[in-house]
């Protein structure tokens, strides 16, 4: 520790200096007359050997009061969203500053004709709600209606609560658990009509399937899932997706429930929850399609032909992937170790959950494939697609 030498007679550490100044400051601020303050000031200058002006500023400095951080208090819960949306809709979807003063009168009128039922403190909270809070609670509904247009699918605030959140796949030891995501082919603008690729990867084997759709709708995404189920070499047990409206809708909920397919979702704005598919989007989609805008149905059909033929066979039978084996933290760094790189086909052959009949079928298909011929055919089709896009 750094030490201060005073007149060569004794030393004082920085900590001792601070303690001494704190004691002298308290006495100095409590001193009632100028003579006492002058004596205390002379003593500080003599003991510490500092300039008199510096001593005056130091002793006059009052100690800062520690302010504890405020604990946020939330009183406007999710239970207010539905009645607020109903009031907003009836009022003609006005801005929040126009809606705020109108809420008490509207509630009174709606209650008169039994058009609205409020519980507990809902009426009190709605009547004193600020326009800023109104904007926050109505933001998702505004974006759904104004940003994406009016959809035929009506989502319920309860829907997300019915879909459990998954953050890791440590418990998955069998094929059939799929992560899926949509890759946009919109170029530099998300406005208008453009194509999207529904990308799916199996967590255990890394088996990868893709399909491109134009004018994305909930039904088309469900149709892709249903079609891909028939091309998987194992039964589809569960799917995991993000919080996009193309996945979180009652149609997908009903399809998965009816066919006994477990479904989970990631946390909003947490892309690491879907690290497998997010890390695959570039390799299996972008490297083939690029980043340009796709709006032509002929190009969509050409890409789907490529996805279902050459690219599918190359990706699953000949393209190896790395699988995380262990992750360990040492101090501030995280060290990862991976298993030996394998193809999805090789992982299926090693899986104990896949039947011998399916393994034999894949072996026969593998034996008939020429990777060089598949690659040439892939490049030939990509050349034709580039000509269509010019």
Q: Is the CB of residue 126 less than 8 Å from the CB of residue 80?
A: yes
What confidence tier does 66 reach under pLDDT thresholds 50, 70, 90?
low
- Residue 59: pLDDT over 90: no
The parent domain of residue 379 ranges over 161-389
324 domain-assigned: yes
Q: Is the CB of residue 279 less than 8 Å from the CB of residue 322?
A: no
Regarding whether 264 and 173 lie in a shared domain, the answer is yes
Regarding whether 145 and 176 lie in a shared domain, the answer is no
Cα(195)–Cα(200) distance, integer angstroms: 16
Cα(152)–Cα(140) distance, integer angstroms: 16
Regarding whether 108 and 39 lie in a shared domain, the answer is no
- Residue 129: pLDDT over 80: yes
73 domain-assigned: no
Question: Parallel, antiparallel, or unpaired for β 238-241 and 333-338?
Answer: unpaired
- Residue 95: pLDDT over 70: yes
Regarding whether 100 and 165 lie in a shared domain, the answer is no
Q: Cα Rg for the chain, rounded, in angstroms? A: 33
240 domain-assigned: yes
Choosing from 86, 117, 150, the residue where a domain stops is 150
Q: Is the CB of residue 277 less than 8 Å from the CB of residue 201?
A: yes
Contacts of 97 (CB under 8 A, 6+ apart): 131
Please name which of 187, 240, 188, 246 lies closest in space to residue 213, comparing C-alpha atoms: 246
- pLDDT value of position 147: 43
Q: What is the mean pLDDT of residues 17-43?
A: 86
What confidence tier does 7 reach under pLDDT thresholds 50, 70, 90?
very low
In degrees, to the nearest 5, what angle opens at C-alpha 82 toward C-alphas 77 and 85?
115
**Share of residues in the chain with pLDDT > 70 (%):** 87
Q: What is the mean pLDDT of residues 347-368?
A: 89
Regarding whether 176 and 50 lie in a shared domain, the answer is no
The structural domain count of the chain equals: 3
Regarding whether 311 and 247 lie in a shared domain, the answer is yes
- pLDDT value of position 156: 43
Q: Is the CB of residue 201 less than 8 Å from the CB of residue 280?
A: yes
Tell whether the torsion through CA atoms of 376, 377, 379 and 384 is positive or negative: positive
- pLDDT value of position 301: 92
Among 7-16, 219-228, 278-287, the range scoring the smallest mean pLDDT is 7-16
Regarding whether 165 and 146 lie in a shared domain, the answer is no
Beta bridge partners of 76: none
- pLDDT value of position 161: 63
Higher pLDDT, 154 or 222: 222
- Residue 276: pLDDT over 70: yes
- Residue 10: pLDDT over 80: no
- Residue 164: pLDDT over 70: no
Among 64-78, 264-278, 373-387, the range scoring the smallest mean pLDDT is 64-78
Cα(236)–Cα(205) distance, integer angstroms: 13
- pLDDT value of position 209: 92
- pLDDT value of position 303: 92
To which residue do tokens 């050997």 refer? 49
Among 105-109, 129-133, 210-214, 357-361, the range scoring the smallest mean pLDDT is 105-109
- pLDDT value of position 149: 35
Q: How is 354-389 classified by DSSP, letter by letter?
A: S-HHHHHHHHHHHHT--HHHHHHHHHHHHHHHHHHH
- pLDDT value of position 211: 92
What confidence tier does 168 reach under pLDDT thresholds 50, 70, 90?
low
Regarding whether 178 and 123 lie in a shared domain, the answer is no
- pLDDT value of position 99: 78
68 domain-assigned: no
- pLDDT value of position 6: 45
Q: What is the mean pLDDT of the chain?
A: 81
Strand ranges of the sheet holding 195-202, from the earlier edge strand across to the other edge = 208-214, 195-202, 177-185, 238-241, 262-265
How many CB atoms sit inside 10 A of residue 34's CB?
8
- pLDDT value of position 212: 93
Regarding whether 209 and 82 lie in a shared domain, the answer is no
Choosing from 13, 33, 60, the residue where a domain stops is 60
Regarding whether 171 and 142 lie in a shared domain, the answer is no
- Residue 369: pLDDT over 50: yes
156 domain-assigned: no
251 domain-assigned: yes
Regarding whether 351 and 210 lie in a shared domain, the answer is yes
Which token pair is 296?
């032509």
Q: What is the mean pLDDT of residues 142-156?
A: 50
Q: What is the mean pLDDT of residues 17-34?
A: 85
Q: What is the pLDDT of residues 293-347, one digit of tens each?
A: 888 899 999 999 999 988 898 888 888 787 887 888 888 888 888 787 788 898 9
67 domain-assigned: no
- pLDDT value of position 292: 87
- pLDDT value of position 4: 45
Regarding whether 373 and 230 lie in a shared domain, the answer is yes
Which token pair is 132?
């800023």
To which residue do tokens 């995991």 refer? 240
69 domain-assigned: no
Q: What is the CATH number of the domain that holds 250?
A: 3.30.420.10
In degrees, to the nearest 5, what angle opens at C-alpha 286 toward C-alphas 282 and 292?
145
């Amino acid at each position: 520790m750094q030490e201060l030498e005073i007149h060569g007679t004794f030393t004082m550490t920085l900590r001792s200096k601070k303690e001494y100044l704190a004691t002298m400051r308290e006495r100095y601020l409590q001193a009632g007359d100028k003579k006492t303050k002058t004596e205390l000031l002379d003593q500080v200058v003599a003991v510490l050997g500092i300039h008199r002006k510096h001593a005056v500023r130091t002793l006059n400095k009052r100690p800062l009061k520690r302010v504890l951080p405020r604990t946020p208090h939330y009183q406007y819960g999710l239970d207010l969203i539905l009645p607020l949306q109903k009031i907003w809709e009836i009022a003609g979807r006005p801005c929040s500053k126009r809606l705020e003063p109108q809420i008490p009168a509207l509630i009174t009128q709606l209650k008169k004709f039994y058009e609205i039922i409020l519980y507990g403190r809902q009426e009190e909270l709605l009547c004193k709600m600020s326009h800023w809070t109104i904007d926050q609670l109505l933001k998702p509904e505004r974006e759904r209606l104004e940003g994406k247009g009016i959809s035929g699918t009506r989502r319920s605030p309860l829907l997300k609560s019915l879909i459990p959140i998954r953050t890791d796949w440590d418990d998955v030891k069998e094929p059939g658990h799929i992560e899926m995501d949509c890759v946009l082919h919109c170029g530099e603008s998300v406005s208008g009509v453009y194509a999207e690729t529904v990308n799916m990867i199996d967590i255990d084997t890394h088996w990868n399937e893709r399909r491109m759709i134009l004018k994305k709708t909930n039904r088309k995404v469900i149709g892709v899932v249903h079609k891909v189920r028939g091309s998987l070499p194992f039964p589809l047990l569960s799917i995991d997706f993000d919080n996009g409206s193309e996945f979180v809708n009652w149609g997908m909920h009903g399809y998965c429930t009816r066919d006994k397919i477990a479904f989970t979702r990631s946390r909003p704005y947490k892309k690491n929850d879907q690290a497998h598919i997010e890390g695959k989007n570039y390799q299996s989609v972008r490297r083939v399609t690029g980043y340009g805008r796709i709006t032509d149905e002929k190009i969509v059909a050409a890409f789907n032909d490529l996805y279902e033929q050459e690219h599918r066979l190359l990706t699953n039978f000949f393209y190896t992937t790395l699988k995380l084996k262990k992750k360990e933290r040492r101090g501030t760094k995280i060290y990862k170790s991976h298993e030996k790189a394998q193809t999805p086909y090789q992982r299926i052959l090693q899986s104990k959950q896949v039947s011998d009949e399916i393994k034999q079928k894949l072996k026969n298909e593998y034996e008939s494939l020429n990777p060089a011929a598949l690659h040439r055919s892939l490049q030939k089709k990509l050349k034709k697609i580039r000509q269509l896009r010019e």
